Chains A and B, each alone.
Chain A
Amino acid sequence: MGDSKILTGRAHVFGDDVNTDYIISGRYKFKTLDMNELACHCMEDIDPDFASKVEPGDFIVAGANFGCGSSREQAPLVIKHAGVSAVLASSFARIFFRNAINKGLPVVECDTSQIEPGDDLEVDLSEGKVRNLTRGVEMDIAPLPSVMMDILADGGLTDYLRKHGGFKL
């Protein structure tokens, strides 16, 4: 999707309806803009060890409606600052999806039912494919609207607007 790099890493698997309070709780996010500090609490209420076990390049893999709940942009930011290279889910809540693209975090809509915890994955954004190297299966990535591809290719909405000065469809 305008980005030729191939991402590789391990899967951390979550269920359906992972909400933004679970991604970063309200009890932390109101007091600082330091995303590295907040990243220590990423996913804390549903997986207290997540921040300590995630390695740079790893993937968050989930079921339906990932990122439901609030509009907090801290949610994709802490995921990114925790070192996660992309979020894969069978579907996303719309504000989270838009925020992730705006902050340059790839969000990949695909069939995630054949991914188990610890699987080695390869995400090829330009080809639109997810390959589960552990299980030898390949999944298609749902295409993004063109404006989102452009924003992601520019590294996020801030850089997109610096470059274009406004929205271009």
Chain B
Amino acid sequence: MGKTISEKIFSNHTGGDVKAGDLVVSSVDFMMGQDGTSPLAIKAFEEIGGKSVLEPARVAMVIDHSAPSPLEGVSNLHTMMREFAGEQGLCLYDIGMGVCHCLLPEQGHVAPGEIVVGADSHTTTYGAINVFSTGVGSTDLAAAMLTGKLWFKVPPTMRIELKGRLPLGIYSKDVALFLAGRITADGATYMAVEYSGEVIQHLSVEARFTISNMAVEMGAKAGLMEADAKTIEWVAGRVDHPFTPVSPDADADYQKILDFDLSDLSPQVAEPHRVDNVKPVEELEGTPIQEAVIGTCTNGRLEDLQIAAALLGGKRVSPDVRLIVAPASRQVLMKAMDLGIAQRLIEAGAAIVTPGCGPCVGTHNGVPSDGESVISTANRNFKGRMGNPKAFIYLASPATVAASAVAGKITDPRRML
């Protein structure tokens, strides 16, 4: 029996012939913490008795969740990160550099065939470029910083074949939401997901990140794709170390294989307060909204801003709606400026905030008021997620969010294309 992508990556890293279910201690190629998790990792590192990080060049700390700091308590934790990164010689991305999950691939820290852990659940994002990347807690991050290794249980794999061609106005976010709705919040728990098929082949690398980002919303440990010519070209422009892409064997042993034909997919929207509470936009059109958010590790990349700007071009955001745009990195913002995208968004009425997590995690930058409804390109709509448990969050693609911002109510973007 052949091997899945996960089994091959773990076999390559451990020098063994490992299968799903095996427990292994594996080297970790890169590790990351953000400002919600790094302070606890630093504390754990010191409690373990750690003096120096084993390989500082393999560690990044990113200040993105509350950036710039809205509170003195946060400021002190940011300072703790800056001091630790300075003492240990770690790579620190300070406020305004962007969201960790946009930065790690963009800055060339992660490459196909590697194992990456991040103290953030959406670390699954890099699976789109063939990286076995998964979220861990702060103490596991501390252990990896100290020893360069972690223990893993090699996961079984769910293979998802996506057939057909996405119709006009349908994007990778609609695919990610559709899958979350079908597979549900725990349908892939503990498994690695392998996404494949015609739909994935036709997506850009940026669009693929959106799908792997949301693998964790189905409980998955990783959201992997094969590295094709597009992946290699994208990575080669950023990574300056050698890497080995991994493909699954034709006779790999999958726990489950699912097939979907997406030729007739509609724009998808997740209703409050569950990511898997997904409906086609037609069923929710007309729902009034007061805030619209474009950005986050799911949909804050250049292509996402481009889609929103194209749809907003020449139109104005409804006077009843606040449109907040948080580019996923400084590089994204600068390219959006070069291409006139940022200007079109601002002219349409958007408020552009610091590159970073923006209002997604409820710390600042657009906390909704009681009873308000928000439509967002983020990946989570739990009650209280954006800082107010009395608000309602709908999740959708950048196009659906932009169209809804113009209309003041949930709107099918295909009406405005």
User: Which residue numbers of A lie inside 8 Å of B, CB to CB?
Assistant: 17, 19, 21-22, 25-27, 29-33, 44-46, 64-65, 68-74, 77, 91, 93-95, 98-99, 102-103, 145-147, 156-158, 161-162, 166-167, 169
Contacts and interface: CB of A to CB of B under 8 A. Distances in A.
Contacts of B65: 26, 30
Interface string B131-153: 00001111110110011011101
7 contacts: A26-B385, A30-B35, A33-B40, A44-B389, A71-B123, A72-B36, A93-B219
Given A73-B119, A102-B139, A158-B44, 5 more contacts: A21-B384, A25-B362, A26-B387, A33-B39, A146-B23
Contact of A169 (B25, B39, B138): B25
Contacts of B19: none
Interface string B342-366: 0000000000000000000111000
A161 B140 CA distance: 11
Nearest to B146: A161
Given A25-B362, A29-B36, A30-B74, A99 B147 contact: no
A167 B48 CA distance: 13
Contacts of B150: 167
A115 B40 CA distance: 34
A22 B48 contact: no
B137 A98 contact: yes
A99 B139 contact: yes
Nearest to B33: A71
Interface of B: 23-25, 35-37, 39-40, 43-44, 47-49, 65-66, 71, 73-74, 77, 118-121, 123, 135-140, 142-143, 146-147, 149-151, 153, 185-186, 189-190, 219, 221, 274, 361-363, 367, 380, 382-385, 387, 389
Contacts of B189: 65, 91, 93-94
A22 B40 CA distance: 20
B168 to A, nearest CB: 33
Nearest to B218: A68
A17 B48 contact: no
A70 B363 contact: no
Contact of B362 (A27, A44, A146): A27
A22 B384 contact: yes
B219 A98 contact: no
A31 B143 contact: no
A166 B147 contact: yes
Contact of A74 (B40, B49, B71, B185): B40
The 3 closest A-B pairs by CB, nearest first: A31-B73, A99-B137, A65-B186
A56 B221 CA distance: 33
A17 B77 contact: no
